[in-house]
Amino acid sequence: MIKAFCIGFLYLLGYVSCSYAQPSGWTKLEDKPILRHVVNDTLAFDIFLVKGSVETDLYYAAFLQTNVCNDQLCLPIEVNLFWDLLGTYHHFTLPDSHHFTKFDHAYFEPHDYEKLDAILKDSLSLLRDYQVIDLLDNTATQYSLEVDAVTRPTSVLFSDATVPGALYTVYTLWHIVNGNINRELAQYLQQHYQSKGWASLFAASDQAVYQQYFLDHLLPEDIDQYRGQVVHLLYVKDDYVPHAAIRILGDTFWHDPLQYNPVIAQAKQLKPHVLSVILQRLAQPNSDAKHLLKELFAWDKLLPKQRERIEQLLANGD
């Protein structure tokens, strides 16, 4: 994160926020905040563990209330910010009757909020690498009724990196949600993942990042306990989670037809590249396995290399 942002941030913020308010619409799992995030020496806020209406819908959340200032004007913002359990920004909501405003107090339109959310989700945005002043068009000016003065608009070259007319708001929020807070929340997860029993939650999630985290942090001694969940991950939407699941299951699984036959029975549900790797890993097929492989061989969507491999398994058994 750029060092200059810290200096610029003091410039941007004209108001100290020490918000203890609860993010609205969500239920705190614990009364105490899980940590207090310090943005700089004028801004800090509490982070809570919250859940939505669905029991498994968990987030870190904070209520942010502050001012965003450019060289002419300060605008107040109030927003609920949410991060997923890995510490990656997830979404925001606004308190009732609150709106974001942009140049000359125009309200954000619905598409502006959508764009803001998309920008905040882009951890590699240009906002990371440029100081806010460098995002302005040095050759143009626009007249502001609000302050009765000219200001500089955002350079058209960066129009995709911000909501037009709201550069400072977007820039400020981006650096808050994608700043050191990501690392702090990731550390919190690492420290509390086991004690909170989140492994099952992550394994059952439909989010690839949670599925991958579950697999990456599965201890060898726990594989037996979670084998069913790992097998389930062979069939998920993400391209890479199934490959990690294949590795976790290991040769003890892929050399034991009693374990892998159910997978072959469902082979048509697997992505083609996943099936290719599984077929390469299979060994010692018993008669049931060979029967299933013969049925699979008749499937017209098999790739040529997959056919070759099945023929090899039927002929040689490895």
Q: How far apart are CA 305 and CA 316, in angstroms?
A: 16
240 binds other proteins (CB under 8 A): yes
Backbone angles phi, psi at 91, to 5 degrees: -165, 175
Is residue 303 involved in binding other proteins (CB under 8 A)?
Answer: yes
Buried b (16+ CB within 10 A) or exposed e, 183-201: ebbbebbeeebeeeebbeb
Assess 129 for contact with other proteins (CB under 8 A): yes
First to last CA, the chain: 51
Interaction between residue 306 and other proteins (CB under 8 A): yes
Q: How many CB atoms lie within 10 A of CB 102?
A: 20
The tokens describing 160, both together, are 């995709």
* Smallest separation (angstroms) from other proteins to the CB of 240: 6
Q: Does 216 bind other proteins (CB under 8 A)?
A: no
Cβ proximity to other proteins, 228 vs 304, nearer residue? 304
Window 255-294: residues binding other proteins (CB under 8 A): 272-273, 276-277
Verify binding: residue 297, other proteins, rule CB under 8 A: no
Q: Which of 37, 90, 175, 243 binds other proteins (CB under 8 A)?
A: 243
Tell me the residue type at 182. Answer: N
Q: Give min distance, CB of 284 to other proteins, in A.
A: 22
Residue with tokens 């705190």: 28
Residue 239 near other proteins by CB under 8 A: yes
By CB under 8 A, the count of residues binding other proteins is: 24
List, in order, residues 6 or more apart from 65 with CB less than 8 Å away. Answer: 17, 19, 21, 76, 77, 78
The residue among 208 and 223 lying less far from other proteins, judged by its C-beta, is 208
Smallest gap from residue 29 Cβ to other proteins (A): 33
Nearer to other proteins, 4 or 219 (CB): 4
Minimum CB–partner distance for residue 106 and other proteins (Å):
26
CA–CA gap between residue 62 and residue 33 (Å, rounded) = 9
Q: Is the CB of 295 or the CB of 308 nearer to other proteins?
A: 308
Q: Which amino acid is at 248?
A: I
> What's the min distance (Å) between Cβ of 158 and other proteins?
7
Give residue 59's Cα distance to chain centre: 11
155 binds other proteins (CB under 8 A): yes
Q: Does 4 bind other proteins (CB under 8 A)?
A: yes
Contact 154, 136 (CB under 8 A): yes
Backbone angles phi, psi at 178, to 5 degrees: -115, 15
Local structure of residue 152 (DSSP, 8 states): P
- Positions touching other proteins (CB under 8 A) are 2-4, 124, 126, 129-130, 134, 155, 157-158, 239-240, 243-244, 272-273, 276-277, 303-306, 309
